[in-house]
Amino acid sequence: MLYLQRDETFPLARAVAVVHPERRIIAYHLLWRDDVNGSWIPLTVPTDQEIVWVGYDSTAAPTQVWTYWHGAILHTPWPKAQVGINVQWGKHGSLPRGIRETDLPPLRTLNFFYASTIFLLPDILLGDITRKGPLGFFHSYKRYRDFSRPILLVEHLDAVVRTADPDKVLKAVFGNYSHKPTWPPGI
């Protein structure tokens, strides 16, 4: 289950589930329609790829979650229950639901990104000239952390494949994409 920040304007455009053929892990590649930053840069592809990995045990219960978070891979054990992922406003970084904000890498905290919405306002406004989107995030930090809009990922899956190298499938479904790590380290 994905939990969007309630003011998110960019929809989930496509999603692909990749089941590893030898390991108990599934990669969920998420393609969001655009990103709030950098959309004015010439030749920028108007999408934002993010990844969530779910490790599971022999009963198919989730036991581990990894997420791609702005160049870092976050990891947390999961309590054999429905996986919940909080999706950051405008940037779509994926956070395991319930993660402590103090566990986020320095300069990649929610506090930092919230402050960036003010400092990067010129970037956001330039992007709005080329592709319409939000003009900024003009609410409180508490609201920035309000991940209250649930969406079922299963309703957005365009493909489910079993492969260790999903590049061809991702190209076919996403077109040009970011080529972020296929699997978390050690897999």
Where do the domains of the chain lie?
A: 2-174
d(CA 163, CA 117): 38
d(CA 95, CA 76): 10
Tell me the pLDDT of the chain (187 aa) as tens digits.
Answer: 999 999 999 899 999 999 999 999 999 999 998 777 666 677 666 678 999 999 999 999 999 999 999 999 999 999 999 999 999 998 899 999 999 888 899 889 999 988 887 777 777 677 777 777 777 788 999 999 999 999 999 999 999 999 999 999 999 999 988 899 999 998 8
Closest alpha carbon to 144 in 121, 111, 122: 111
Q: Which residues contact 110 (CB under 8 A, 6 or more apart)?
A: 88, 101, 104, 141, 144, 145
Q: Listing from the earlier edge strand, what are the strands of the sheet with 25-32?
A: 72-77, 62-69, 48-56, 25-32, 12-19, 159-162
Question: Whole-prediction pTM value?
Answer: 0.92
Q: Per the structure block, which two tokens stand in for 74?
A: 């976050």
Question: Residue 155: its pLDDT value, please?
Answer: 93
Question: Residue 40: its pLDDT value, please?
Answer: 65
CB of 72 within 8 A of CB of 49?
A: no
d(CA 21, CA 187): 12
The helix/strand/coil state of 150 is strand
Question: Residue 74: its pLDDT value, please?
Answer: 95
d(CA 24, CA 62): 9
Q: State the CB neighbour count (10 A cutoff) for residue 105.
A: 12
